[in-house]
Chain A
Amino acid sequence: MLNYIWAGLIIFSLVFALSTDVQELSSDRYRNGDALPVTVSFPEEYDADARRQPVTVELDTTAFQAFYPDATTPDPRYEGQLVQTQDGNQIVFGSGTELPQPWQDMRDFYGDETSDPIRAEAQLDAVTGTVAQARLTFEPVHFRKLNDIAAAALNFAETAASLALGLIGVLALVLGLLKIGEEGGLIHSLTRFVQPVLRPLFPELPKDHPAMGTIALNLLANVFGLGNAATPLGIKAMEDLQKENPSEETATNAMVMLLALNTSSVQLVPPVLLIAIMGLQVNELVFSIALATACTTVAGIAGAVFLSRMKRFADSNPMNDSS
């Protein structure tokens, strides 16, 4: 299942990126190579010798929208700079300037950051005092989306590694504590305590198995919204379950159940991130979250149980071989 979803994500992103690109090329969305007429005004007189001078670029909003096929309404004027280079004049819009579409997309294409400066060749036609007529030609934009997905893939690969490495500290802390709990017999007593509730969900586990204790701790951390602590506890629980797994690489029913309990996450305290976004407003949502999370938990348990009985998944159960 995951194989197909994974391949599907990749293939679909290629298909969509390509179809968007082809559509943008055929509608000539960026008017590659064409010049947009604008009015440039100088705060002081135009100085032919200055390498760099501040300018205001005035756009005729209707002409702009007629020029670009799917433009958003631009502001009538944008602050920029006129730069003299060996190849002629350029107008540069600085990194802080908010630009209309499709300029914003073009800026994303040229630069690494969405706020990078964007430059256009400027052909100055008639200069009279502080005002000049000019034609702007931007660098051509080809296959923007294709470029985007490749950049995203590299970016996310990096994010993934740093996310995983970021777990090291908390993982070490929690695993260390749990080891003390194991040696001291705390996990064992916890297991005995929660067994009546958890046993029905994990029928494959032998009686008094320590996984039940770590699962209980994992769920407890989830209930109280302690995502940071819940993950290492869940990982430890997975390890305990793996010890009972005759297969190296195939998930048991118990593992899927633990996963379902975690993705549906029983929660009484909203996650920290939500508090950060919503502020005190979260207080109102505690009950709706509790209600929804109760539904998802029931659905997760039911889903895990029923799916495990479907022929396809029942056949692949690694526990089949051992018994």
Chain B
Amino acid sequence: MLETIRSIVSILSYFVLPAILVGFPLYGLIKGVRVYEVFVEGAKEGFEIAVMIIPYLVAILFAIGMFRASGAMDFLVDTLDPVLGWFGIPAEVLPMAIMRPLTGSGSAALVADMVAQYGEDALIVKMVATMFGSTETTFYVIAVYFGAVNIRKTRHAVPAGLFADGVGVIASVYAVRLLFGG
């Protein structure tokens, strides 16, 4: 049953993008829209938005890059280790829990490292991979999405995003335990 759903979803995922790519112009054509002209008009904005995002992304990424390079991450791992032990979270997944909301490329490299070190079948590797798959790079998303519309006062966006990330860490650990035992 689960397998069938899974294969349907994966086949569907091949169709979503082509459907948007072809479906929108086709629909427009039927509705009598001057598709080419309108497309170009909309596409013009792409450049402006990308440029608008730059200051936000530079601000976030350079701070995170410095933080990673300083070795503060190791310190955080050491201090948070006993706290996470309470939730039954293994120490090996902790770097991932901290890295995931900060950097996408950094956390991807971490998954790759752990695959190389422990092998794909290790429970902790499944946990970090699940973490990687189930949450997004919160700070990057905030910079890009809010940067695009020039929002500087983010209000409760950061705590809400980090709260979801925290729940994601715990949920990943327990989901893997539940499905793969151990």
Q: Using a CB–CB distance below 8 Å, which chain A residues touch chain B?
A: 1-2, 5-6, 9-10, 12-17, 20, 145, 148-149, 151-157, 159-161, 163-165, 167-173, 175-186, 217, 220-221, 224-226, 229, 231-232, 234-235, 238-239, 241-242, 247-251, 255-256, 258-260, 262-265, 267-271, 273-274, 277-279, 281-289, 291-293, 295-297, 299-300, 303-304, 307-308, 310, 313, 316-317
Contacts and interface: CB of A to CB of B under 8 A. Distances in A.
A171 B54 CA distance: 14
A17 to B, nearest CB: 4
Given A178-B24, A287-B2, A296-B134, 15 more contacts: A1-B155, A13-B63, A149-B66, A149-B69, A153-B62, A165-B54, A175-B45, A220-B16, A250-B153, A250-B155, A255-B149, A264-B135, A293-B133, A296-B171, A307-B160
Q: 6 tightest A-B contacts by CB?
A: A179-B42, A172-B46, A156-B65, A176-B43, A152-B69, A295-B171
Contacts of B136: 262-265
Contacts of B164: 260, 263-264, 296-297, 299-300, 303
B71 interface: yes
B37 to A, nearest CB: 10
Interface string B106-145: 0010011001000011000010011111111110011011
A148, A251, A265, A292 — most chain B CB neighbours (10 Å): A292
Contacts of B61: 156-157, 159-160, 163
Contacts of B171: 291-292, 295-296
B87 to A, nearest CB: 14
21 contacts: A10-B67, A15-B70, A16-B72, A20-B70, A159-B65, A160-B57, A171-B45, A175-B43, A176-B38, A178-B24, A181-B28, A235-B145, A268-B9, A273-B132, A282-B129, A288-B130, A289-B133, A292-B134, A295-B134, A308-B155, A316-B155
A291 to B, nearest CB: 4
B50 interface: yes
Nearest to A180: B28
Interface in B36-75: 38-47, 49-51, 53-54, 57-72, 75
A171 to B, nearest CB: 4
Contact of A295 (B17, B72, B167): B167
A161 B24 contact: no
B175 interface: yes
Contacts of A221: 16
Contact of B134 (A16, A180, A293): A293
What secondary structure prevails in chain B residues at the interface with A?
helix
Given A238-B149, A278-B129, A160 B54 contact: yes
A238 B49 CA distance: 11
Given A277-B115, A316-B155, A179 B145 contact: no
Interface range for B: 35 or more
A229 B159 contact: no
Nearest to A168: B50
Contacts, number: 369
Interface string B11-37: 011001100110011011011010100
Contacts of A183: 28, 31, 33, 38
A12 B67 contact: yes
A204 to B, nearest CB: 13
Contact of B163 (A234, A274, A283, A299): A299
Given A234-B145, A251-B157, A263-B135, A281 B66 contact: no
Contacts of B41: 176, 179
B148 A279 contact: no
A178 B111 contact: no
Contact of A164 (B54, B150, B176): B54
Contact of A263 (B132, B141, B172, B175): B141
A291 B44 CA distance: 39
Given A251-B146, A263-B141, A226 B42 contact: no
Contacts of A167: 46, 49-50, 53, 144
B151 interface: yes
Contacts of B157: 2, 251, 255-256, 259-260
Given A14-B70, A220-B16, A171 B163 contact: no
Contacts of A12: 67, 70, 72
B38, B41, B121, B130 — most chain A CB neighbours (10 Å): B130
A161 B65 contact: no
Given A148-B69, A175-B45, A274-B129, A6 B145 contact: no
